[in-house]
Amino acid sequence: MSGTSTIPDPGLEDATRSEASLRRFLHGLPGVDQVGAEARAAGLGTRSIKTSAKEFALDLAIRMVDLTTLEGQDTPGKVRALASKAMRPDPADPSCPSVAAVCVYPDMVATVKDTLGAAGGASGVHVAAVATAFPSGRAALDVKLADTRDAVEAGADEIDMVIDRGAFLSGRYQQVFDEIVATKRACARPSGDDAHLKVILETGELQTYDNVRRASWLAMMAGADFIKTSTGKVQPAATLPVTMIMLEAVRDFREQTGQMVGVKPAGGIRTAKDAIKYLVTVNEVAGQDWLDPDWFRFGASTLLNDLLMQRTKMRTGRYSGPDYFTLD
């Protein structure tokens, strides 16, 4: 076996020793009952977040956004505008926090770096790049790794990789594991300032919550810094129950290993109301430690404007409209 994880837990070290042990481990995880899991998520979704709690949640959600554009039609101009918005989401209100990161294809990393750097680089906004033949992951490993190294060399702080869902669904867990380990290595910099690795499970293709739980553990054991639901290119993308299952996984992983792993739902979260449901879920399932942009992100684009509109409503007492926020 080629890959080794850096997991301190000897039990997990055993689990990753061979294809067979990996399979036994993943299939030995407690099952997920779909109906029960969805009922629990729906219950969390009924929490009513008002006044001071809502203000707190809206600002936190803004700080957690990975402002994303992943289109064939992306241009440097579009990306620069997005990066500017990331730093100052609400130009009318300097108290509005900046978002967590800008998420782009590898070839746009330099453009984002320039824009952020030109502003003095004090915003704290990170650059995230999707890599590994995003979104399908259908390429040879050396291509995927080259893709990753390109982005790292261009200055990406974070790499959003995709797993090989075909390999996962056909039970070749070792292959998926090894690719994550290899990508993690490709995130390394000589300076030691390694790019953080987000592992996209593409839960819409994994289909079952049992698979989501197994893929989450597989990614964490292989060294993921974050586990992410979706590319945004497959429906369904992020859902509350899927995110809840992943939050349970990171919670249980810390319980077992002491290591914290972040969670990023991406795709389909468009309203502040939805975002708040996710934060409630983070709070009650994984716990307060995850209520931080270092440990929870939203992969989104249109979400930001709704968060801003709701934030303005909270502060001015009247409903806002889309004309008052930038379209980028």
Partner 1 sequence: MGFEYAPAPESRSIVDIKPSYGLFVNGEFVDGHGKSFKTISPATEEVLAEVAEADESDVDAAVKAARRAYEKVWGPMPGRERAKYLYRIARIIQERSRELAVLESLDNGKPIKESRDVDVPTVAAHFFYYAGWADKLEYAGRGADPRPLGVAGQVIPWNFPLLMLAWKIAPALACGNTVVLKPAETTPLTALLFAEICQQADLPPGVVNIVTGAGATGQALVGHAGVDKVAFTGSTEVGKAIARAVAGTDKKVTLELGGKAANVVFDDAPLDQAVEGIVNGIFFNQGHVCCAGSRLLVQESVADELLAKLKRRMSTLRVGDPLDKNTDIGAINSAEQLAKIRDLSEIGESEGAGRWSPACDLPTTGFWFPPTLFTGVSQAHRIAREEIFGPVLSVLTFRTPSEAVEKANNTPYGLSAGVWTEKGSRILSMANQLRAGVVWANTFNKFDPTSPFGGFKESGYGREGGRHGLEAYLK
Partner 2 sequence: MSRIDVRKTYKLYIGGAFPRSESGHSYEVADSKGKFVANAALASRKDARDAVVAARKAFAGWSGRTAYNRAQILYRVAEVMEDRRPQFVQATQQSEGLSAGKADKVVDEAIDRLVWYAGWADKVTQVVGNANPVGGPFFNLSTPEPTGVVAVLAPQASSLLGLVSVVAPAIVTGNTVVVVSSYERPLPAVTFSEVLATSDVPGGVVNILTGSAATIAPWLAAHMDVNAIDLTGVAGETALATELEVAAADNLKRVRRAPATEPDWTLDPGLEPITAFLEIKTVWHPIGV
Residues lying near partner 1 in the complex (CB under 8 A): 30-33, 35-37, 39-40, 46-54, 56-57, 60, 248, 255, 279-280, 283-284, 288, 291
Q: Provide, rounded to whole angstroms, the least separation between the CB of residue 54 and partner 1.
A: 7
Question: In angstroms, how far is CA 114 from the centroid of its own chain?
Answer: 23
Is 75 a residue that touches partner 2 (CB under 8 A)? no
**Catalytic residue flag (residue 233):** no
Q: Provide, rounded to whole angstroms, the least separation between the CB of residue 251 and partner 1.
A: 8
Do residues 158 and 195 touch, judged by C-beta distance below 8 A? yes
Comparing CB distances to partner 1, the nearer of 248 and 306 is 248
Choose the one of partner 1, partner 2, none that binds residue 54, judging by a C-beta under 5 to 8 angstroms depending on kind. partner 1
The secondary element (H helix, E strand) that includes residue 145 is: helix 141-153
- Angle, CA of 233, 238 and 243, to the nearest 5°: 145
**Catalytic residue flag (residue 294):** no
* Helix, strand or coil, per DSSP, at residue 104: strand
Among positions 208, 273, 316, 324, the unique one binding partner 2 when judged by CB under 8 A: 208
**Catalytic residue flag (residue 228):** yes
Q: Name the one range near partner 2 by CB under 8 A: 32-40, 67-75, 160-168, 245-253.
A: 32-40
Q: At what angle do helices 34-44 and 240-257 cross, to 10 degrees?
A: 100
Sheet holding 101-104, edge to edge: 262-264, 226-228, 196-200, 158-162, 126-130, 101-104, 65-68, 298-300
CA distances to 57, 280, 285, 307, 320 from 311, rounded to whole Å, are: 10, 17, 25, 6, 9
Do residues 172 and 212 touch, judged by C-beta distance below 8 A? no
CB count within 10 Å of CB 135 equals 17
Comparing CB distances to partner 1, the nearer of 235 and 288 is 288
Choose the one of partner 2, partner 1, none that binds residue 208, judging by a C-beta under 5 to 8 angstroms depending on kind. partner 2
**Between residue 35 and residue 54, which ones bind partner 2 under the rule CB under 8 A?**
35-36, 38
Q: Name the one range near partner 2 by CB under 8 A: 2-10, 27-35, 277-285, 291-299.
A: 27-35
Active site residues: 160, 228, 264
Contact residues toward partner 2 (CB under 8 A) are 33-36, 38, 207-208
